[in-house]
A and B are shown apart, each in its own frame.
Chain A
């Protein structure tokens, strides 16, 4: 069977066989299939969809297209975590040491930021000396000693996905639940965890704009995990407003440390606690969520989670004293407030525009090789529902010599709405999939 027959099968709305999908992924990996045929098939998949079965086969084939991390010689249950990405999303940095302090092994490979969302790897690199490019052996040693390690994704995991993603980005074929789900899950499965928790973000600052789309994506990923023998659970969380108060690399590290000290803002703490409890249950450390929750609370309040974070930083070559002395972190000298143009209630803090403001100040990158400024960013001082007076500061912008400041202030004006009535309060956690 020629590859054109595979394309026409999907074009005509028929399901592909396991063999056809394996031929496809092998051909992508080896570059035997030309890009123009791959993109034609991708578009047919976007429009015709894929069954759960097809999506599972695609995921497995992509996971097998490269190396798979073998964590079997590390004692304990390994639970991975993935977020679909949002603004101010520092959950992984708090969650990894917290879950490790509860007895879960958390091997985490993260990405860099691109566009208006930040990247966990960029945030961690604002800690002086922190190395994200550990070898797999070093990674495993840190996991064994600390229980958690966060490193960058290696190019050898799921190379088929890497290639497909690059092509999807330039052919308008990103928006597809089966393709998104298999892309994420192929990398997570290749990372070698026994179980996975997923944080599917939904709202203006997320890739998935509405709850229905987020739920379909969550369900698809949970189904893939079940099929691949990796227990997978997902929570769907709101990303209309940024998560927590800080957006920008070192600013978010400070907020993470504060959260590990027990001083986190409720929305961030809610998401972290929900995920940590699920990880404790998935790891079999506790049998049910009530006991899991207690264990997580105790790890946080006892200071063990913070201490685990320190050990993780030290094991990665970073300066662990940052948890006690924030002046060791990069900090931009300029500070400018964005103030309320009128009195009333904050009705909206749009994550996307706060993300763009931080990006304009230099915290993010527009192309893969741009350098990032770890010291700049935005601190959101008010949440939706807060009552504010005219002229009251709503956000503090940390900038370097006013670079991007005017643009950032304009984005803040687009981001924050003030009205006469308080908006209905809404939980950060919108649903879950198991």
Chain B
């Protein structure tokens, strides 16, 4: 079989064999397949689709294209978590220590922010001294001692995916459920967990704009997990408005700490406890959701979750006192409010525009390698459904000497809608796939 024959087969809408997929991924990894052939195959996959077995084989071949983290010598059930990314999504930071405090082992590799969404690594790096670039040995030691550790993805995990993703980005071949799901799952499976909980975001501030596409992506990923023997469940959660009240790196760390104290915003509390309780169930730590929820409440109420976070920070070189004294986190020197232009009900706080506003203040990066400002960001003063008076503060912008402020305020105007009638309330968790 040749690469051209594989392209032609997919072009004609036929399924590829496992051997053909293995051959293609090997050729991509070693560089023997030129980029122009790979991109032709990618476009054929985008337009012709892939069956569930093809998608699972692709995932498996991408996992095998690089190292797989071996966590077998760490006792306990290793449970991974992944979010498809949103605005204000600090769930992982609160969830990892909370789940660890409940007895789960949570080895987590995360990415950096790009575009309007933030990245877990960038947020953690706002903690003075925190290192995300641990070696695999250091990573495993922290996981063993603390029960959790969050580091950056290493280049040796799923290198075929890395190569494909870079090419998809510049050839209009991102939008494909099989390719997206195989990309996410190949990295997660390479991380070596034995169970996996996925948070598929859906809405204005997410990659998946509509509910049906999010459902399909969630189902595809759960099917890949089943195919490869890793118990996988997905929650589909709304991302029309930012999650919680803060957007921006240090601001979100503050909110994660509040959440671990049990005083986080309602939507963050709900999502974190829901996800952790599912993790405990799929990890066979608790037999059912109710028992799992009780364990989660105990870990929060007893302070063990916050204490676990402090230990994780400490083991990763960070200043653990931030959990008691948030003035140790970077703070922006200036604040400007965006006020309600009229009275009424807040019907929309557009996550995409608020994410961009935070970015232009300096919290995000436009391209890989840009420096970010950990202190700046946006604080939401109201929630969707709240009634506001004219000139009441809606958003508070934390900025550095006005950098990006005008653009951010313009984005806030796009983001906020106030109307006469209250919106119909929608749940944060839209569905789940098991």
Residues of A within 8 A of B (CB): 4-5, 7-8, 11, 34-44, 46-48, 167, 170-173, 175
- Asked if A37 and B39 make an inter-chain contact with CB atoms under 8 angstroms apart, the answer reads yes
* Bound-complex Cα distance A41 to B42 (A): 11
Task: Contacts A7-B171, A170-B4 given; indicate if A40 touches B47 (C-beta within 8 A).
Answer: no
- Asked if A40 and B173 make an inter-chain contact with CB atoms under 8 angstroms apart, the answer reads yes
- Asked if A43 and B40 make an inter-chain contact with CB atoms under 8 angstroms apart, the answer reads yes
Q: When the two chains form the complex, which single residue of A8, A40, A172 contacts B42, counting CB atoms closer than 8 Å?
A: A40
* Bound-complex Cα distance A175 to B43 (A): 15
- Chain B: which residue is nearest A173 at the CB level? B40
| Cross-chain pairs A/B with CB under 8 angstroms, 18 sampled | A4-B172, A7-B43, A7-B172, A11-B172, A11-B173, A36-B35, A36-B171, A37-B39, A40-B39, A43-B11, A43-B47, A44-B43, A44-B47, A170-B34, A171-B4, A171-B37, A173-B11, A175-B11
Extra inter-chain contacts (8) besides given A7-B43, A11-B173, A40-B42, CB under 8 Å: A4-B170, A8-B175, A11-B172, A37-B39, A39-B36, A43-B11, A47-B48, A171-B7
**Chain A residues near B36 (CB, 8 Å)?**
35-36, 38-39, 167, 170-171
Q: How large is the interface on B (under 10, 10 to 19, 20 to 34, 35 or more residues)?
A: 20 to 34
* Bound-complex Cα distance A46 to B48 (A): 12
B306 within 8 Å of A (CB atoms): no
Query: Which residues of chain B in 101-133 are interfacial with respect to chain A, using CB atoms and an 8 Å cutoff?
Result: none
**Chain A residues near B39 (CB, 8 Å)?**
36-37, 39-40, 43
* Bound-complex Cα distance A47 to B48 (A): 9
- Asked if B8 and A172 make an inter-chain contact with CB atoms under 8 angstroms apart, the answer reads yes
Interface centre among A11, A48, A167 (most CB of B within 10 A): A11
Residues of B within 8 A of A (CB): 4-5, 7-8, 11, 34-40, 42-44, 46-48, 167, 170-173, 175
**Chain B residues near A175 (CB, 8 Å)?**
11
Main secondary structure of the interface of A (DSSP, over half): helix
**Chain A residues near B5 (CB, 8 Å)?**
172
Interface centre among B4, B7, B42, B43 (most CB of A within 10 A): B43
- Asked if A40 and B172 make an inter-chain contact with CB atoms under 8 angstroms apart, the answer reads yes
Main secondary structure of the interface of B (DSSP, over half): helix
**Chain B residues near A4 (CB, 8 Å)?**
170-172
- Asked if B40 and A40 make an inter-chain contact with CB atoms under 8 angstroms apart, the answer reads yes
Closest CB in chain A relative to B164 CB, distance in Å: 11
* Bound-complex Cα distance A37 to B35 (A): 9
* Bound-complex Cα distance A42 to B4 (A): 14
**Chain A residues near B173 (CB, 8 Å)?**
11, 40
- Asked if A43 and B35 make an inter-chain contact with CB atoms under 8 angstroms apart, the answer reads no
**Chain A residues near B40 (CB, 8 Å)?**
39-40, 42-43, 171-173
Closest CB in chain A relative to B180 CB, distance in Å: 15
**Chain A residues near B46 (CB, 8 Å)?**
11
Closest CB in chain A relative to B358 CB, distance in Å: 25
Closest CB in chain A relative to B170 CB, distance in Å: 6
- Chain A: which residue is nearest B43 at the CB level? A43
**Chain A residues near B175 (CB, 8 Å)?**
8
Closest CB in chain B relative to A32 CB, distance in Å: 14
- Chain B: which residue is nearest A46 at the CB level? B11
- Asked if A8 and B172 make an inter-chain contact with CB atoms under 8 angstroms apart, the answer reads yes
* Bound-complex Cα distance A40 to B173 (A): 8
* Bound-complex Cα distance A47 to B167 (A): 20
- Asked if B172 and A35 make an inter-chain contact with CB atoms under 8 angstroms apart, the answer reads no
Task: Contacts A8-B172, A44-B47, A48-B47 given; indicate if A39 touches B37 (C-beta within 8 A).
Answer: yes
Q: When the two chains form the complex, which single residue of B4, B7, B43 contacts A11, counting CB atoms closer than 8 Å?
A: B43
- Chain A: which residue is nearest B4 at the CB level? A172
- Chain A: which residue is nearest B176 at the CB level? A11
- Chain A: which residue is nearest B35 at the CB level? A36
Closest CB in chain B relative to A54 CB, distance in Å: 17
Closest CB in chain A relative to B274 CB, distance in Å: 35
Interface centre among A43, A46, A48 (most CB of B within 10 A): A43
* Bound-complex Cα distance A36 to B167 (A): 8
Closest 5 CB pairs of A and B: A7-B172, A43-B43, A172-B7, A40-B171, A172-B8
**Chain A residues near B4 (CB, 8 Å)?**
170-172
* Bound-complex Cα distance A19 to B182 (A): 36
- Chain A: which residue is nearest B10 at the CB level? A172
Closest CB in chain A relative to B176 CB, distance in Å: 10
